Amino acid sequence: MKLLEGKTALVTGASRGIGRAISLKLAENGCNVAFTDLAVNEQAIIVEGELKAFGVKAKAYASDASKFQNSQDVVDEIVKDFGQIDILVNNAGITKDTLLMRMSEEQWDLVININLKSVFNLTKAVQKYMLKQRSGSIVNISSVVGVSGNAGQANYSASKAGIIGFTKSVAKEYGSRNIRCNAIAPGFIITEMTAKLPPDVVEAWQKEIPLQRGGTPEDVANAVLFFSSDLSSYVTGQVMLVCGGMHM
């Protein structure tokens, strides 16, 4: 039997990169997958097809995770379509990197709303269903810079550190209802976004990593699979760093 047979997951920001890899890993393990992005475009339809190829139910939804009512509405729609939500993966996120002295209020607000408020929005939206069924696993994608900070990323680091505090609080509130909440803090992961960096920058990053390489989206997806499944049934309120030893 597959690890997530009969379960349904909601993954935010899943049309590409880490979100796509997470969705594929869950589907490969028998999980039905609802996933969101700002628009159901050609890329989202491709991912939907890739997920269905595993023989599971899958559907893309257009939703802005940073908007409270939008999040409530899409979760209600998903429950109507799928019957339940057992796993929530809060993955949606952006960067607007610059030094604090140059950072605008708009750059701050945008990153906080999309990266941190979205986690509040979706968790609030799924809680009534998870509380009713007295089970659930919430996995929040933080970042190694949420643990260690990083120059030029005050907004991003703050949003990802906030996710860690939120995760631990939710784990304490919902533990008695058999709802678990954990966070994953990826390090330097090779995605479409990091592929645009100059080779010398990538090389400098990799030299700082004990495993001497960048991670893959699948490395993060494997950690999500662990937290989503009964393999981690006695694990909650934890932060797993998937960073090749960059931060110890």
Give catalytic residues, as residue numbers: 156
CA-nearest of 118, 172, 111, 155 to 140 is 118
Burial of 200 (0-12, 13-18, 19+ CB in 10 A): exposed
Is the distance from CB of 37 to CB of 62 less than 8 angstroms?
yes
Tokens describing residue 161: 């550190």
Cα 14–Cα 28–Cα 64 angle in degrees, nearest 5: 15
**Three-state secondary structure call for residue 142:** coil
